[in-house]
Structure 1
Amino acid sequence: MARSGAARTRHMKARWQVVSGAIGKGICMNKAITDGINFMPPAFQLGLNVWSSGDGTPGSDTYDGAPNAAFVPADADFGGCLELQKTASVQKLRYMGQTPLQPGCYLQIKVRIKAISGNLPSVRVAGWAGAAGGAHVGGVTEQGPSTTLTSYGDVVEVTGIVGSGNRGGVDMVWGASALYGHFGLDLEGSNGGIVRIDDIEITDITGAFLRDMLSQVDVRDYGAVGDGVTDDSAAFEAADSAAGGRRVFVPGGTYFLGQTVSLASEIDFEGTVTMPVDKMLLLTKNFDLPTYIAAFGDEETAFRKAFQALLNGSDHESLDMGGRNVSVTAPIDMQAAVPNRTSFSTRRVIRNGQLVAVAGPAWDTDTFISQATYDPNDARKLNNVTNIANIPVGSLVTGAGVGREIYVRSKNVGAGEITLNAPLYDAAGTQVFTFRSFKYMLDFSGFSSLSKFNMQNIEFQCNTHCSAIRLAPYGATFALYDCFISRPKDRGITSIGGGCQGMLIDGCQFLSSEEALNVPDRSSIGFNTNANDVKLRHCRATRFRHFAVMAGQNHMILGNHFFQGDAVDNGPRTAGIVLIGTYSSATFAENYVDNCSLEWTNEQDPNPDFNGGFSFSALSITDNIFLSGEVAPWFSYIVIKPHGVGHFINGMTVTGNKFRSINGYIDRAERVDTSFSGLNFDRTRDLIYQGNTYHGVSTRSANPLRLEVDQTSASDNWLINTDATLPFGAETRGVDAVVPQGPLRESGGAVAYLAPYAQVQQGTNQDQLRLRWSEPVSGTVFVTVRADK
């Protein structure tokens, strides 16, 4: 139907009214209305001086006065129209005005055309992409699909869609750098044909491409390609800048981000991204692991990149795993995930998720056997280490004279020197050592220092394949709250240096992978420490060889339950907690110690003989439950194990504890392990051992020790045996009181009113005492004896 200029104007007005109503209903958005942009080129009747036969750029030839072009005022189909004869191989028609093209905006160019006479050409919508400063945008498609005219007088409608994003249905994808275009058409084919062209229409059809223009911005609208090769970093950040509170949408595809990208908007991923290891994706509004998994499509990669962002973003202090289960196929080197950080000391938290080890050779322990020399005067060094280059930092060291939980803290390959986390007790000289590098799910040892790092409500499901956490060599207040460390192959948490300073472990469960093994066959350890001030509170541990090996001082071990028994009758038991160091200054209170012991040792002393200092001192053991069953009678709940002669107790409190053995008695609740040496009881000081209860324990130790002594025949020399009931079988070093119970009588039966003097440290073991009277007497007295002064 023919449309005059006036009719065309009425048509466009009606069209804008329809679009305006659609906007009110949230259907689409049109820049002509929202921003006042005029996309429509002028009608041909207004003059051909703005219509170019070239690209439409300034200075190009126009059709004004051209011999092959004329305005036809009254066409039966078009009203006013342009009649054009094809005289060039590609006959161009371009509007010379700059039609703006904004990111996120999609324009449809519509051409209505009919052949009049001569050769029948092909026609296509075309344009010229312009950038800032009038530059041409190269490398983009500037033509739409071609249509061949097949008859005369039939009106054919040809369209082409142009926009910034690579959307389905977009014919000309110009990216974010194109700011405007000169639009029109191309005629191709044989020359000589004459066509008539209706006024060209350019309309905004953005609403056809966006799911919800009011809430979402598509990265493709800002030039993202999503081919996995093109760097889409700038497009992501441009979309974020334009979002203005809306969500950024990443459609299907693989988007390579070659630079660090920081997004302040909420974001949805259908496609995935890839990035170099050292580049970061900082999602400040969607900072949680599920979003990173959606972004990277791989759980392990997502966890690494989210951790990288955690240590580099200032808008968040914690990473919420969203309850996700992350399958881990190999050790995660946490420092390698953040290559721009070698240390970190600002509080950060990972919470609420599960890490699950998947079987594979990546978890295999690496073992190295090397010769080295140890000098006790350089107590933390191994020198002249063969094969040192292959020995990993963090390896466990074993050998003659090497205590428990000795690790490679650092190494100097050029000097052939290894620095240890702690001294060796009896390894002077040259020998062969074994180095075993366990594999950890999360390995922080690549950081030189890591402080104030917390993990909350995380389950480390090691599945017997690996260990859980290896700490950095230095750092303070690493914390685990309400975490599960389940079935570690070798270790739960390993400290290879001072990264455990002030460590907090609260409300956690350590579940052994060796529950089915008998006690002597177990080798796994819940955790170890080297530094001071560790708080271990309200945790539960099952059937490790040791729950904790704790060097350092000033620890607080409160309210834990750990058990390490088996089904072997009269079987041995190992220590649940091993305290290493003579001056302990530790508190051990309100714990439930089940079928294991508390061991106190100095096995990290390079010169173990006592030659000064406090010796075994400052340990409080209070209000604990100690329980055992079917154990060997020599088993004890509290064991002191000296390395080197001359050591003594110099401040120890054992009060309010409940000692109970079921299905068989044990000899005593406490003892000295004399495998290397005994204690010097002659120097015992400040030992308080009282208020404890005993069931199924043959010897009820106490200090001060109250004895009832019956002397049936008159004597002036009463020898009193303590029956080894002083703690640890200690010596009698003092008498606080001697109180007769009833009359003392002379040999003739007369009542004697006498006071004795006491002689302590009597007998072969010096655990007896004598009461010396001025004359022979008999009777009953209560004697309060002390093992200390």
Structure 2
Amino acid sequence: MNKAITDGVQLMPPVFDTGLDVWSSGNGTPGSDTYQGAVNAALVPADQDFGGCLELQKTNGVQKLRYMGETPLLPGCYLQIKARIKAIAGNLPSVRIAGWAGGAGGNHVNGLTEVGTTVTLESYGKIVEVTAIVGPGARGGVDLPWGTQALYGHFGLDLTGPNGGIVRIDDLQIEDVTGVFLRDMINVVDVRDFGAVGDGATDCSAAFEATDQAAEGRKILVPAGVYSLSNSVSLKSPVEFEGTVTMPSNKVFILAKSFDLPSYIAAFGDEELAFTKAFQALLNNSDHESLDMCGRKVTVTRPIDMQAAVPNKITYATRRVIRNGQFTATGAAVWDTQSVTARATYSASDPRKLTNVANIANIAVGSLVEGNGVGREIYVRSKNIGAAEIVLNAPLYDAEGTQNFTFTDFKYMLDFSGFGSLSQFAMSDIEFQCNKLCSGIRLAPSGLTFQLRDCFISRPKDRGVTSIGTGCQGILIDRCQFLSSEESLDVPDRTTVAINVNANDPKLRNNRATRFKHFALLGGANSVVLGNHFFQGDDVTAGVRTAGLIIANNFTNATITGNYIDNCTVEWTNERDPTPDFNNGFSFSAMSITDNIMLCGDVAPWFSFIVLKPHGTGHFLNGVTISGNKFRSVNGTIDRVERVDTSFADLDFSRSKHVTFEANTFHSIREQAFNPLRVRHSESTNASNWIIGVNGELPFGGQIRGVDSIVALGKISNASSDANFSRPYALTQQGGNKDKIKLVWNEPVRGDIVVTVRMDL
């Protein structure tokens, strides 16, 4: 490139043949002496090597030759001054390119290097070429770095060394060589300069690594083309992709300075592939704790096997986060649910295993298990084809013996089940658009503290978040929305479940779920369910309702507080107990249901907000607090807010202890429940034995096991209308349902009293 052509700037000095009056023997500044008429300078019209040239005899210690024209120095522009010279006679001098730096107002810019490298002429007739580059920056190869104050220069050469020698000098050349420095100037390093070939076949791994080393923080350019990388590549410099890369699935591509999903999409040209490669890099890179999707949408055309994306990792336990994006499912047959029916044997002595499983090779790990005596959300955690055995995520309550089981493999958008263990993994601010085609997330079989926060799982076909083992230990689900694909269906026709948890310590906080069959099944202990809104109604008059929250563990240590429980039930069951009859332990224990809003509308009168469902005999309440809740029914009255589902067994109310049911409010509830319960009784005729009932107001239809107080409301009169100041004694658990007390007086009396009774001790 020559500025004389590109910008209309004259760089080249005139040839010597046009006259020596513009060639100075000084600095080239106005008024300096020229070689016009000088005795030591002459024009040679036809030199055999140079054609027209200048013949010059050295007569001064530094014999200067300067073009008197002002050669402009433009910002960002680098010029090369070139001279060809040969000795003719006399002493052999040395030669160098030289110049004079001119600034504003024609003033000299001091302090600059104004001479190039000196070259000694060693023989007569031998042509020597001397060059120097002048420009604003002190870059490699720049001989005269003049900065930005020098606006022009008077360029030429110097002869140094002994006097008396005669030389011939070809016409001086000044050219724009900015292109040599263009890569440095625009802060870009091109992978092609290091051997990369974008033909889709040549291995460019080494070329990419070499480019990164040379870049030293500058941007790497991957031009148009397809660049094959046969090995793992890690680039520490920022990268701009015009072309794409391709590499084996087991090789890692790390973009340390461009670590976000848009960069990987630019690199691989395919959203799904880019996401899996970025996830692979996330788990193989210590420089980043999170993958930012930067708001990008990834169209998912098939289930993404997250472990297959990272084939060198079976377990992972370092905090990692994927955030800020959207996954959208598309396609058809690839999402179809697969079901297998197979005969297998179950024994409560080995409660998490099926043995002698027929057709086991066709049963997928992670499949839902259904059959007689099988509880809800039972999954295949692992299988041993050789032994024909399946390990389950939880025991079965009544499946002893051999039967046919159905194994249903739902398809999940993101499937982590291939990991043996995955801990401390989080997903934040992501929408999973399942579009009724697929389920959302399947967790690893084991692991700790998986976290889902500020996410949407929209319209899953079958499940929102599924745990097939203990990968849900300590799971944190916060401020998420679960939007059902079954909103238009009546409650009995729904099959979807938003969340299931098998292990201990889950935290479900401030989530919202709409019209699933169940919001969550929690099979572990120490659960915290706080501030959620889940609703499951329909438009059917006097319609039925399903459980919104299922606690599938009798000793639960659960806290259910501050939720909005709308047209659904909190169901407490022991359906994962392989020997459901009570024989030892704490039974239905350690439950706190407090300060919730519980609303139903247009439901069957037998609907209740809190349902206990024992799967074996002998169970009892042991440490239960239900208080501060707001119970309300609209468009109809319900019988009571709590009940026992006796489909399998009833509770043993003779063993109830530490039950608190108080400070609740009831609207359109026919029978309100309290414990302790204050009962007002009026005996209008004289009697020694007063029978006092509670009219079903003890929780769950419990028995009277204690009397806290007996207070007379006015005079207790005997047959003579005299006051009776004696105290009666109380006999509890009277009547067929043991929900009455008998007060025994020392004589027949009448009057009004308030009795405080309890169903527990």
Say whether the fold is shared (TM-score over 0.5).
yes
Matches within 5 A, 1:451-600: 451-600=423-572
Matches within 5 A, 1:357-436: 357-436=329-408
> Quick check: 2:221–2:239 contact (8 Å CA) kept in 1?
yes
Would you say 1:21 and 2:95 are equivalent positions? no
Consecutive unaligned residues of structure 2, counting only runs of 5 or more, are 1-14, 16-45, 57-62, 89-122, 130-138, 142-169
> Paired residue for 1:709?
681
Residues 471-500 of structure 1: CA deviation (Å, up to 9, x unaligned): 000100000110001000000000000000
The one-letter code of the counterpart of 2:73 is G
Measured in 1, the distance between the counterparts of 2:406 and 2:85 equals 89
> Quick check: 2:194–2:207 contact (8 Å CA) kept in 1?
yes
Q: Offset at 1:224? A: 1.0
Matches within 5 A, 1:117-266: 207=179, 210=182, 213-266=185-238
The one-letter code of the counterpart of 2:257 is K
Residues 357-407 of structure 1: CA deviation (Å, up to 9, x unaligned): 112211111111100000010000000001101111100000110000000
- Decide whether aligned partners of structure 1 residues 314 and 783 sit closer, same or farther in structure 2, where only a CA change above 3 A counts: same
Secondary structure, counterpart of 1:751 in structure 2: coil
Secondary structure, counterpart of 1:290 in structure 2: helix
Measured in 2, the distance between the counterparts of 1:214 and 1:685 equals 79
**Structure 1 stretches (4+) deviating beyond 4 angstroms?**
1-10, 40-46, 201-206, 208-212
The one-letter code of the counterpart of 1:283 is L
Would you say 1:354 and 2:406 are equivalent positions? no
The one-letter code of the counterpart of 1:21 is L
Consecutive unaligned residues of structure 1, counting only runs of 5 or more, are 34-39, 47-70, 74-79, 83-94, 96-104, 108-197
The two structures, once aligned, show a CA RMSD in angstroms of 2.9
- Decide whether aligned partners of structure 1 residues 474 and 13 sit closer, same or farther in structure 2, where only a CA change above 3 A counts: farther
> Paired residue for 2:616?
644
Secondary structure, counterpart of 2:349 in structure 1: helix
Residues 127-178 of structure 1: CA deviation (Å, up to 9, x unaligned): xxxxxxxxxxxxxxxxxxxxxxxxxxxxxxxxxxxxxxxxxxxxxxxxxxxx
Measured in 2, the distance between the counterparts of 1:21 and 1:465 equals 66
> Quick check: 1:507–1:539 contact (8 Å CA) kept in 2?
yes
Measured in 1, the distance between the counterparts of 2:651 and 2:296 equals 53
Matches within 5 A, 1:329-348: 329-348=301-320
* Identity, % of aligned positions: 60
Secondary structure, counterpart of 1:335 in structure 2: coil
Q: Offset at 1:749? A: 1.6
Measured in 1, the distance between the counterparts of 2:578 and 2:54 equals 103
Secondary structure, counterpart of 2:299 in structure 1: strand
> Quick check: 1:26–1:214 contact (8 Å CA) kept in 2?
no
Q: Offset at 1:204? A: 9.4
Q: 2:723 aligns with which of 735, 751, 754?
A: 751
Secondary structure, counterpart of 1:475 in structure 2: strand
> Paired residue for 2:628?
656
> Paired residue for 1:296?
268
Measured in 1, the distance between the counterparts of 2:237 and 2:543 equals 63
| TM-score, structure 2 as length reference | 0.80
> Quick check: 2:84–2:127 contact (8 Å CA) kept in 1?
no
The one-letter code of the counterpart of 2:672 is R
> Paired residue for 1:726?
698
> Paired residue for 1:133?
none
Q: Offset at 1:42? A: 8.2
- Decide whether aligned partners of structure 1 residues 329 and 671 sit closer, same or farther in structure 2, where only a CA change above 3 A counts: same
- Decide whether aligned partners of structure 1 residues 288 and 5 sit closer, same or farther in structure 2, where only a CA change above 3 A counts: farther
The one-letter code of the counterpart of 1:625 is I
> Quick check: 1:658–1:694 contact (8 Å CA) kept in 2?
yes
- Decide whether aligned partners of structure 1 residues 618 and 5 sit closer, same or farther in structure 2, where only a CA change above 3 A counts: farther
Would you say 1:315 and 2:287 are equivalent positions? yes
Secondary structure, counterpart of 1:312 in structure 2: coil
Q: Offset at 1:213? A: 3.1
Residues 612-649 of structure 1: CA deviation (Å, up to 9, x unaligned): 01000000001000000000000000010000100000
> Quick check: 1:264–1:285 contact (8 Å CA) kept in 2?
yes
Q: Offset at 1:41? A: 12
Secondary structure, counterpart of 1:654 in structure 2: strand
Residues 492-523 of structure 1: CA deviation (Å, up to 9, x unaligned): 00000000000000100000000000000000
> Quick check: 1:207–1:213 contact (8 Å CA) kept in 2?
no
> Quick check: 2:718–2:724 contact (8 Å CA) kept in 1?
yes
> Paired residue for 1:681?
653
Would you say 1:666 and 2:718 are equivalent positions? no
The one-letter code of the counterpart of 1:446 is G
Would you say 1:286 and 2:249 are equivalent positions? no
Secondary structure, counterpart of 2:419 in structure 1: coil
Of residues 234-243 and 511-520 in structure 1, the stretch that sits farther from structure 2 once superposed is 234-243
Q: Offset at 1:752? A: 1.2
Secondary structure, counterpart of 1:304 in structure 2: helix
Residues 94-117 of structure 1: CA deviation (Å, up to 9, x unaligned): x9xxxxxxxxx9x9xxxxxxxxxx
Measured in 1, the distance between the counterparts of 2:245 and 2:54 equals 51
Of residues 240-249 and 658-667 in structure 1, the stretch that sits farther from structure 2 once superposed is 240-249
Q: Offset at 1:43? A: 7.8
The one-letter code of the counterpart of 2:479 is G
> Paired residue for 1:450?
422
> Paired residue for 1:268?
240
Matches within 5 A, 1:602-613: 602-613=574-585
Q: Offset at 1:748? A: 2.6
Of residues 430-439 and 228-237 in structure 1, the stretch that sits farther from structure 2 once superposed is 228-237
Secondary structure, counterpart of 1:687 in structure 2: strand
The one-letter code of the counterpart of 1:207 is G
- Decide whether aligned partners of structure 1 residues 8 and 527 sit closer, same or farther in structure 2, where only a CA change above 3 A counts: farther
> Paired residue for 1:324?
296
> Quick check: 2:637–2:669 contact (8 Å CA) kept in 1?
yes
> Quick check: 1:477–1:502 contact (8 Å CA) kept in 2?
yes
- Decide whether aligned partners of structure 1 residues 747 and 335 sit closer, same or farther in structure 2, where only a CA change above 3 A counts: same
Q: Offset at 1:235? A: 1.3
Measured in 1, the distance between the counterparts of 2:127 and 2:730 equals 133
Measured in 2, the distance between the counterparts of 1:8 and 1:718 equals 143
The one-letter code of the counterpart of 1:662 is V
